[in-house]
């Protein structure tokens, strides 16, 4: 297993467009997380899945954001009607069981122009 994989690595989109990111976790990990990181800040929690169930969502996750994890494997994060304030690094992480030293992917850098 090569770790947590995220696609694409970079995305430039025009304001108002929809974008979708994909995350493939480590195969034996049943927990999957999405975080967002802006310049000069640490990662901020967005949402958490255990298997296919989305168990927690941050209030940062407005109604323009939706995340899915069908069949408890890969996950997608969609942002509708993107705004310039959505420009950030979107990080996915996974873990096995109730451990907090989870593994991050390299992230998807979104730029909204």
Partner 1 sequence: DQQVKQNSPSLSVQEGRISILNCDYTNSMFDYFLWYKKYPAEGPTFLISISSIKDKNEDGRFTVFLNKSAKHLSLHIVPSQPGDSAVYFCAASAEGAQKLVFGQGTRLTINP
Residue ranges in contact with partner 1 by CB under 8 A: 4, 31, 33, 40-45, 48, 50, 55-56, 58, 91, 93, 100-107
* C-alpha distances in Å from residue 6, one per residue of 23, 32, 34, 55, 63: 5, 12, 11, 21, 23
Query: Measured on CA atoms in the order 44, 80, 106, 113, is the torsion positive or negative?
Result: negative
CA distance 93 to 61: 17
Min dist CB 18 to partner 1, Å, is 24
Instruction: Pick between residue 91 and residue 112 the one whose CB is nearest to partner 1.
Output: 91
Instruction: Pick between residue 1 and residue 56 the one whose CB is nearest to partner 1.
Output: 56
Min dist CB 43 to partner 1, Å, is 5
């Amino acid at each position: 297993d090569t770790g947590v994989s995220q696609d694409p690595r970079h995305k430039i989109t025009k304001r108002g467009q929809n974008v979708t990111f994909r995350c493939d976790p480590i195969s034996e990990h049943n927990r999957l997380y999405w975080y967002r990181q802006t310049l000069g800040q640490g990662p901020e929690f967005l949402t958490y899945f255990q298997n296919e169930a989305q168990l927690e969502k941050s209030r940062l996750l407005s109604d323009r954001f939706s995340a899915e994890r069908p069949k408890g494997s890969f996950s997608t994060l969609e942002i509708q009607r993107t705004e310039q304030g959505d420009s950030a690094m979107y990080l996915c992480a996974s873990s096995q069981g109730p451990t907090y030293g989870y593994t991050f992917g390299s992230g998807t850098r979104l730029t909204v122009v």
